[in-house]
Amino acid sequence: MIPIQSYQGRRVAVFGLGRTGIATAKALEAGGASVSCWDDSELSRERAAEQGLTLDDLNRRDWGDIAVLVLSPGVPLTHPKPHRVVELAQAVGAPVIGDTELFAMALNALPPARRPKLVGITGTNGKSTTTALIGHILNETGRPAIVGGNIGDAILAQDPPRPGLHYVLELSSYQIDLTRTLACDVAILLNISPDHIDRHGDFANYFAAKQRLFEMQEPGGKAVIGIDDDETNAFFSRLRLRRPEEDVVPISAGRVFARGVYALGGRVYDALDGASHPVVDLQKAPALPGRHNAQNVAAAIAAVRLLGVSGRAAAKAVESFPGLAHRLQRVAQQDGVLYVNDSKATNGQAALQALNSYADIYWIAGGRPKDDGLDAVRPALGRVTKAYLIGEAEDRFARELEGQVSFERCGDLQTAIARATSDARAAGRSGAVVLLAPAAASFDQFTSFEARGDAFCQLVKDELAAVDEPVVEREDAV
């Protein structure tokens, strides 16, 4: 745990009592604050009470003694409208922050020489993989690293800061919106595409939240920017006008430049020192297939090189990276058919990246649709042999795919797996892939994308168990 002493002796409101909220309340109490906890969910309140936290209905109490509101990232801050507790805090002038800002306060209170290194990763897609990969490389090369933020355990539940430690944080736009002073030594923007518009109001606000990660950096902080999108390329150019050239590093999956890190032809090239040379053979990294993962590897190499890791040591660590659950996770292989769980592909852009990683795809798609539906995946539909549609998106996706690819309405995940398996086996072609890349949120039939991915893994094993040939579980499955 990281005790938070910034509000010692003062009253703090914590709203949202999931894993992050409970860790936040405990860290504040450990630092001497009086904490009033609340959640709209009765079940969450019961769990918090079981942990010994003080429940205090923030909707009914007098806010006159509240010094700050620490808000769960999942609670609306501005759109579609501020949550009632946000309005109550604003009415008394109490700042509204998140647990990441409390973490930043703890770091900022340390003498500069005793502060750990801090890497922050944001973007629309690829954040989790890149974050985990950077943490893996640092740990494998003898640099202690803790991975947190929007991945893994809550950041305030982690080990306290110490010199020589590296914190590697995945940061969503929701988290950055609640953060004011997080000064990353290395900040990374992978890519940008429309997402979470319901929570930000429009794309400009969403992108602005991402850019704030770089606005919070101190002089000398390094920025690593993916330049494969028009918007991020323009942002890179703006940063280059304001910062020294050596502090702004471009990355790309396909574009070659004199200084930066880029992927081309199945290799990642390090050109940070002005002379380009290959450092990673992506064929030796089976857990990182596809062009989007090439960009993720380029970002990770850039980040660790800026932190002092040699290219050769970084490349060796990349090859041993096991991958992440629910991100192109190879689940099983039987009769020449590979089963891949990419439940994290909750929008069209993420699903496009998954589809571009394979050919002869039996594609399971659907859930609660996003505003742009399947617009982003159209360039990759030629890779899809047949689609199997599930959830609330079933009818909408059927209309969007009409005349472009063969599809079947399946309703639920179990039916989709059974029919995809039957069709793939009947075709008798080695190299077929049954791919779960929903291009939609999970909340119609599952509590989270993790729950959806776990269900896929179990249902695949159940489906294949009836076949005589043994199921081969992939060594690189997580």
Q: What is the pLDDT of residues 368-389, one digit of tens each?
A: 998 889 999 999 999 999 999 9
pLDDT of residue 431: 92
- Written as six digits, the tokens of 163 are 């010199």
The pLDDT tens digits of the residues spanning 7-25 come to 999 999 999 999 999 999 9
| Residue-range domain boundaries for the chain | 11-97, 101-319, 329-465
What band does 193 get if pLDDT is binned at 50, 70 and 90? confident
| pLDDT tier, 468 (very low <50, low <70, confident <90, very high otherwise) | low
What is the distance between the alpha carbons of residues 342 and 335, in angstroms, rounded to a whole number? 21
Q: Which helix (H) or strand (E) holds 464?
A: helix 449-465
The answer to whether domain 11-97 and domain 101-319 are alike in fold is: no
Choice between 89 and 196, residue whose per-residue pLDDT is larger? 89
Pick the CATH number of 329-465 from 3.90.190.20, 3.40.109.10, 3.40.640.10, 3.40.30.10: 3.90.190.20
pLDDT per position as a tens digit, 240-274:
999 999 999 999 999 999 999 999 999 999 999 88
What CA–CA distances, in Å, run from 46 to 15, 61, 236?
Answer: 14, 19, 47
Q: Where are the beta strands (DSSP E) in 282-402?
A: 329-334, 337-341, 361-366, 368-369, 384-390
Kindly give the interhelix angle for 291-306 and 311-319, rounded to the nearest 10 degrees: 140
**In this predicted structure, what is the pLDDT of residue 471?**
46
| Coil, helix or strand at residue 373 | coil
Question: Which pLDDT score is estimated for 478?
Answer: 31
pLDDT of residue 467: 65
Give the other-Cβ count within 10 Å of 324's Cβ.
17
Tens-place pLDDT, residues 277-323: 999 999 999 889 888 899 999 999 999 999 999 999 999 999 999 88
CATH code of the region 101-319 = 3.40.1190.10
Strand stretches in 283-351, DSSP E: 329-334, 337-341
- The CATH architecture annotation of domain 11-97 reads 3-Layer(aba) Sandwich (3.40)
Instruction: For residue 42, name the pLDDT band (cuts at 50, 70, 90).
Output: very high
Is the CB of residue 466 less than 8 Å from the CB of residue 473? no
3-state percent helix, strand, coil for the chain, nearest multiple of 5: 40, 20, 40
Q: What is the mean pLDDT of residues 40-57?
A: 95
Pair 55, 45: CB distance under 8 Å: yes
